[in-house]
Structure 1
Amino acid sequence: MTNLRYYDIIRSPVLTEKSTLASEENKIVFNVSSDASKPDIKKAVEALFSVKVKSVNTLVRKGKSKRFRGIPGRQSDVKKAIVTLEDGQSIDVTTGL
């Protein structure tokens, strides 16, 4: 049985044009918890998807100031992980878990 904490680390896959192009190079992009470390992300992806992870790169997209109906607000920061898989491994993120 997979640890339920892994579902807290991996929030959702990122489905954009840029992440789709990266998937051709065995790279998958996920939104992850802001306090997740690279080893935690690697363990979670390997456990949830049964694949071998080669490397994990992370980035934090800072939140933007926006206006909604004239009221100023702020989007929250988002941490993303770019997970590179070993050769021959693949994940189909469109089907879900």
Structure 2
Amino acid sequence: MIDLVKYPVITQKTYIALFKNDQYTFDVDVRLTKPQIKKVFEKLFNVNVISINTHIPPRQKIRVGLAQGFRPQYKRAIITIKEGQSIKYLTLKKKVNL
């Protein structure tokens, strides 16, 4: 179950969404559906998931020497959790004026 959630996405945009809207952004397995993502996050992190938005960005071409290929495809999930709850592994101190 842990390998279904690949890693959290920490950028300036996701950092702002975390503090304003209680939204966490993760890259997840492409085959997961929204109900499956909800079950995984509620079991792994013990939080109440309110909504999930997902998108699959277009694949990017890469080139190594003469060989061409594509980067692996991934699904990005933006998860909104209940106000007052947090994912304890991603709790950050608020130091930025939003």
Out of 17, 22, 27, the position equivalent to 1:26 is: 22
Check if 1:9 corresponds to 2:4.
yes
Structure 1: runs of 5+ lacking an equivalent = 1-5
Residue 94 of structure 2: aligned partner:
none
TM-score in terms of structure 2 length:
0.80
Give aligned pairs, total. Answer: 90
Question: Aligned in 2, Cα 1:18/1:70: closer, same or farther, shift over 3 Å?
Answer: farther
Amino acid at match of 1:15: I
TM-score in terms of structure 1 length:
0.80
Amino acid at match of 1:27: Q
How far is the alpha carbon of 1:76 from its aligned partner? 1.9
Check if 1:36 corresponds to 2:32.
yes
Matches within 5 A, 1:10-89: 10-24=5-19, 25-69=21-65, 71-89=67-85
Query: SS of the counterpart of 2:10?
Result: coil
Deviates more, 1:58-67 or 1:25-34: 58-67
Q: Report the aligned-residue RMSD.
A: 1.8
1:46·1:52 contact (CA, 8 Å) conserved in 2?
yes
Query: SS of the counterpart of 2:16?
Result: helix
How far is the alpha carbon of 1:34 from its aligned partner? 0.7
